[in-house]
Amino acid sequence: MDTDLARTWVQAIAAAVEKHKDHLTQLDSAIGDADHGVNMHRGFSAATTALADYEADTPGSVLAKTGNTLISSVGGASGPLYGGAFRAIGKALDTPTADTRQFAAALAAGLASVQKLGAAAPGDKTMIDAYAPALATFQQQADAGADFAAAALAAADAAEKGMRTTTPMQARKGRASYLGARSIGHQDPGATSTALIFRALAETVVAR
């Protein structure tokens, strides 16, 4: 992971969110405030604009800038959660380039930020249900000596599998938790956008 790859990743996330904006909003309309797609689109559009003329010397500075922009531009819980994650990832990547193990550690810092702020755990029907398995898989790949592309692809697959597991869950955190058993049968929008983020990473790395 270097500065150019970090920029391209953020641009790829923005493109994926724009493409799936209506789907994210549909999912959120069932168990949330029906604004997740709009909020994520606003945030990552603002991030790509902020990065356009931003002179960064490390991938961490690109991702920290992204996080700060998300926090300042996204409403609801999404801004602090996703912005905090990217800011934590960026803070952990204060080096010109990061290898697979270093990036795994940075992803772990991002998850820790989300869990600290949201107080959610796997099984609560949140973005963590996609993030945690993606991180675990990325770390396993890194520990096994896999290259960055292989780790990113495996993590994206794990995130999407985790995303799908949220459908039969009853929400225990966030707006959806107010619905109780009525939240069962709906895929979590946060897990869905998190899976988009990991898939964008994989596609960015593979295309390089």
86: closest CA among 117, 116, 62?
A: 62
Digit-coded pLDDT (tens) for 129-155: 999 999 999 999 999 999 999 999 999
pLDDT at 179 over 90: no
Domains of the chain, first to last: 3-207 (1.25.40.340)
Determine the Cα angle at 13 with ends 49 and 55, to 5°: 40
Question: What is the model's pLDDT at position 177?
Answer: 81
| pTM: predicted TM-score of the whole model, two decimal places | 0.96
Give CA–CA dist 165/14, Å, rounded. Answer: 25
- Quickly list DSSP for 116-181: HHH---TTSSSTHHHHHHHHHHHHHHHHTT--HHHHHHHHHHHHHHHHHHTTTPPP-SSGGGGGGG
Rounded average pLDDT over 82-86 = 97
Of the listed ranges 65-69, 136-140, 157-161, 169-173, the one predicted with least confidence: 169-173
Rounded average pLDDT over 78-98 = 95
List the structure tokens of 140: 């396993």
157: closest CA among 141, 133, 140?
A: 133
List the structure tokens of 96: 């010109």
Question: What is the model's pLDDT at position 180?
Answer: 84
| Residue 111 CA: distances (Å) to CA of 52, 81, 180 | 27, 10, 25
Give CA–CA dist 62/197, Å, rounded. Answer: 15
Question: What is the model's pLDDT at position 43?
Answer: 96
pLDDT at 75 over 80: no
13: closest CA among 55, 46, 60, 54?
A: 46
Rounded average pLDDT over 69-80 = 89
